[in-house]
Structure 1
Amino acid sequence: MKLIISALCVLVLFSFSAAYDPLDPNGNITIKWDVMSWTPDGYVAAVTLHNFQMFRHIMNPGWTLGWTWAKKEVIWSMVGAQTTEQGDCSKFKGTVPHCCKKTPTVVDLLPGVPYNQQFTNCCKGGVVAAWGQDPSASISSFQVSVGQAGTSNKTVKLPKNFTLLAPGPGYTCGPAKIVPSTNFLTPDKRRKTQALMTWNVTCTYSQFLARKNPSCCVSLSSFYNDTITACPSCACGCQNKKNCVKSDSKILSMVGMHTHKKDDEPLLQCTHHMCPIRVHWHVKINYKDYWRVKISITNFNYRMNYSLWTLAIQHPNLNNITQVFSFNYKPLVAYESINDTGMFYGMKYYNDLLMEAGPTGNVQSEVLMEKDKDTFTLKQGWAFPRKVYFNGDECMLPPPDKYPFLPNSAPVTMFNFPVFILSLLFLLVVW
């Protein structure tokens, strides 16, 4: 009995820890439901998804939101979103509701819908940026008119059993809770209005619930060792090994092969790690006061373009970044006393889209960091990252004993840039 209780305790603790990310301790998606007006048999509400996660966004094909009505509510109409099924509305005569299902499923509309179907922050195909990447694009909203719902704060019942797919599993939503009513500013910003009733639902992400295996891996190399530490074998599981495609396969020229559908299995390039994404960290140069790293991200999935991609890295020297050459960079300070984590993401219209597997399926940048003379060393793998996340999922790192080691007999190559320039000028003058 003691063994069973201990096992259950470990399982519970593991489940909670899997939903808690130490690099983003406050990250969540909050669903805010604001009742804006009463109708003869219900209300009109604005529903907003706020993505408060620093480096995990909702990527294509977007979010899917579901819940269970507390009574016999129906959805008369929606603006900025739609339900995937209407359900049985046969008992209604004349005007037929948009949805009569007890458990409606709602999706965002695609860009380009007519203006009268649009709502503020809607119609992006369910794609929502991470809060740390672009706060202005981390919101998605729609309007819903609910009938048979009660017409006052006392008669309205909160929906239950909220579910969020974004776009796949991994999110667990808590119960709806009534909170102080939201305040709004009128367009001229001269008057403040207030929602008639507001409730919130908080959804948190767990990579453990999302998938059994990682979705990315990390390989390592350095200027001081010819050895390349590859991703671990089957780092992302080898269940797709039978369906993988070689880079010269004729199947890749078939029409529609690169089009991603919501229920498609990934079509991966055959590799020993079988990961959709590989991140490579290369220690490139060691200057006197600085050191330089090259970061490359390679896509091995023939069916997936990664838009709005993010790369979060934990390393103690990220607090002294001097320059990032072809990615955007933002420090992530999860705790006041620790500044060892940063987020890299693409430059708009340049490399913010990571193409599917193939010749263009990679992006790369170099990072220049000033040395902290008290801690900097190339020994014992210090120069390699502690954690790496791609699109919010933690990548598998090689075991530390496989890292490129620093040869004991060889001195560390130093490159003194000012001396190099002076020497070059001297040679030019002499010549």
Structure 2
Amino acid sequence: MAITRIPYPVFLAVLFVMILPHAVAYDPLDPNGNITIKWDIMSWTPDGYVAVVTMFNFQMYRHITSPGWTLGWTWTKKEIIWSMVGAQATDQGDCSKFKINIPHCCKRTPAIVDLLPGVPYNQQIANCCKGGVVASWGQDPAAAVSSFQLSVGLSGTSDKTVRLPKNFTLLGPGRGYTCSQANKVPPSVFLSSDGRRTTQAMMTWNVTCTYSQLLVAKNPSCCVSFSSFYNDTIVPCPTCACGCQNNSTCVIELLFCRSDSKILSVVGVNTPTNDNTPLLQCTDNMCPIRVHWHVKQNYQLYWRVKIAITNFNYRMNYSQWTLAAQHPNLNNVTQVFSFDYKPLVPYPSTNDSGMFYGIKYYNDILMEAGPDGNVQSELILQKDFNTFTFKEGWAFPRKVYFNGDECAMPPPDVYPYLPSSAHGNLVSSLIPLASAIFMLLVHWQ
């Protein structure tokens, strides 16, 4: 049989298509990050079972924000949901064949949402009723769990007759999650509240959902700009980094010449919409979020960076926001002001990444565009003289993520450059007394 020779460009195109679905979900700063959904059958009923479904957000810096998650699947047989605790189906479906006991949901493809806080106690279980908001694992592990209970009928009454649901979907505010098929795993073991007795689930299966930014939008949702003390140049976000100006979603420049009261009176400003359509300040980059990294000061043994995050979206508050960055000197962070900080160690051999997030009840909410629509922090890093330099943009981050989405970066050839006359004497020209005072203050705190 003759073998047809495939042209090399065609081969590369086919190979790219084959690997793309797997590659886009990979996050180099959080390679093991995922949302794991665990389905535990706790007891059998005359026509089915009672199960507890628990969602674990193992992502280090990506959380699910308001209006929260929606979990869906397809039943394999003719299952129904008799009742639920801690969550509800968005659509009951056609239950007309039931005349006495009416099920909670008869749809073959149910969509489940979390209940809001404050529901009656008898409708709650542990880790429910948070409006679908789930914190990231790195930020708050205790709040990175969400659970609900459901009673399933017409499903089989043993591990031999129950069929696993299929085609799981997990939708959040930005969507973007792809879920695996359900996989049967060893039954979960639970410890009683007094720690003296264990119980075991009748049957357990897991579903793993991973995030892909490309599934959310074709454009980034944030961008990064740079500046430094040793160069007057301010490097802005790339033009059209998050799309170009569109007057239907853009507050025109003239509006910002008016008073705040006039801005607030414009229809649509500060008014939520059903589809969360952004209303952005007109900028060259049209990004809802801008992260500015400023190399602020140089000391003998340390250097200082200022980070500012600005919200240009007039319809969005970012609660429990996170900022992740990759830079080789983040393994020597000495002090962070105004933000909480946690190192990220994606691989045992590296420690060049970290996440910043707001201090609870202080600046963990990044307000909508306006005077309060920004948060700022400074960090002090100890120099590693084997690698430290201000040359060739070394002082600027390699990657920046806001709320788990990678931000558009300026091209490296436009980073603020170090004047050639300062290459040899930048450190030696420092005032020794100022360095000594700074060292004393750092170690005193």
TM-score tier after normalising by the smaller chain length: over 0.9
What's 2:75 paired with?
Answer: 69
Q: Aligned pair 1:304/2:316, yes or no? A: yes
CA contact (8 A) 1:215 1:393 kept: yes
Q: Aligned pair 1:85/2:99, yes or no? A: no
The equivalent position to 2:208 in structure 1, one of 202, 225, 228, is 202
How many angstroms apart in 2 are the aligned matches of 1:191 and 1:8?
A: 55
AA matched with 2:278: P
Aligned-partner SS, 2:65: coil
1:362-401 paired onto structure 2 within 5 Å:
362-401=374-413
Q: Aligned pair 1:161/2:167, yes or no? A: yes
AA matched with 2:209: C
Shift of 1:361: 0.5
CA contact (8 A) 1:54 1:132 kept: yes
Is the alpha carbon distance of 1:242 and 1:149 closer, same or farther for their aligned partners in structure 2, counting shifts above 3 Å? Answer: same
Shift of 1:211: 1.2
What's 2:103 paired with?
Answer: 97
Tell me the TM-score normalised to structure 1 length: 0.95
Shift of 1:416: 4.5
Q: CA RMSD in A?
A: 1.7
Shift of 1:118: 1.0
1:10-409 paired onto structure 2 within 5 Å:
10-238=16-244, 240-246=246-252, 248=256, 250=262, 252-254=264-266, 257-409=269-421
CA contact (8 A) 1:64 1:167 kept: no
Shift of 1:412: 2.3
Shift of 1:106: 0.6
Shift of 1:114: 1.1
How many angstroms apart in 2 are the aligned matches of 1:304 and 1:393?
A: 16
Shift of 1:268: 0.9
Instruction: Deviation per CA, 1:86-131: give whole Å up to 9, x if none.
Output: 1111110111111110100011111111111111101111111111
Instruction: Deviation per CA, 1:154-209: give whole Å up to 9, x if none.
Output: 11000010001122321110100000000101111110001100000000111112
Is the alpha carbon distance of 1:35 and 1:314 closer, same or farther for their aligned partners in structure 2, counting shifts above 3 Å? Answer: same
Shift of 1:381: 0.2
How many angstroms apart in 1 are the aligned matches of 2:32 and 2:436?
A: 48
Instruction: Deviation per CA, 1:233-259: give whole Å up to 9, x if none.
Output: 000112645420145374533577424
Shift of 1:388: 0.3
The runs of 5 or more residues in structure 1 that have no matched partner are 423-431
What's 2:441 paired with?
Answer: none
CA contact (8 A) 1:216 1:390 kept: yes
CA contact (8 A) 1:213 1:237 kept: yes
Tell me the TM-score normalised to structure 2 length: 0.92
Q: Aligned pair 1:412/2:429, yes or no? A: no
CA contact (8 A) 1:61 1:262 kept: no
AA matched with 1:238: C
CA contact (8 A) 2:324 2:400 kept: yes
How many angstroms apart in 2 are the aligned matches of 1:387 and 1:95?
A: 56
Matched length:
423
How many angstroms apart in 2 are the aligned matches of 1:323 and 1:239?
A: 39
Aligned-partner SS, 2:49: strand
Tell me which moved more, 378-387 or 161-170. 161-170
Tell me which moved more, 248-257 or 128-137. 248-257
How many angstroms apart in 2 are the aligned matches of 1:320 and 1:190?
A: 44
Is the alpha carbon distance of 1:251 and 1:284 closer, same or farther for their aligned partners in structure 2, counting shifts above 3 Å? Answer: closer
Instruction: Deviation per CA, 1:123-161: give whole Å up to 9, x if none.
Output: 111111111111111000000111111110011000010
How many angstroms apart in 1 are the aligned matches of 2:13 and 2:111?
A: 36
Is the alpha carbon distance of 1:416 and 1:328 closer, same or farther for their aligned partners in structure 2, counting shifts above 3 Å? Answer: farther
AA matched with 1:291: W
How many angstroms apart in 2 are the aligned matches of 1:374 and 1:193?
A: 55
How many angstroms apart in 1 are the aligned matches of 2:236 and 2:95?
A: 57
CA contact (8 A) 2:245 2:282 kept: no
CA contact (8 A) 2:70 2:172 kept: yes
CA contact (8 A) 1:224 1:412 kept: no
Aligned-partner SS, 1:220: strand
How many angstroms apart in 2 are the aligned matches of 1:21 and 1:142?
A: 29
What's 2:3 paired with?
Answer: none
AA matched with 2:150: V
CA contact (8 A) 2:300 2:435 kept: no
How many angstroms apart in 2 are the aligned matches of 1:171 and 1:240?
A: 28
CA contact (8 A) 1:287 1:417 kept: no
Tell me which moved more, 26-35 or 253-262. 253-262
CA contact (8 A) 2:83 2:104 kept: yes
AA matched with 1:307: S
Shift of 1:266: 1.0
CA contact (8 A) 2:87 2:115 kept: yes
How many angstroms apart in 1 are the aligned matches of 2:435 and 2:225?
A: 32
Instruction: Deviation per CA, 1:368-388: give whole Å up to 9, x if none.
Output: 000001110000000000000
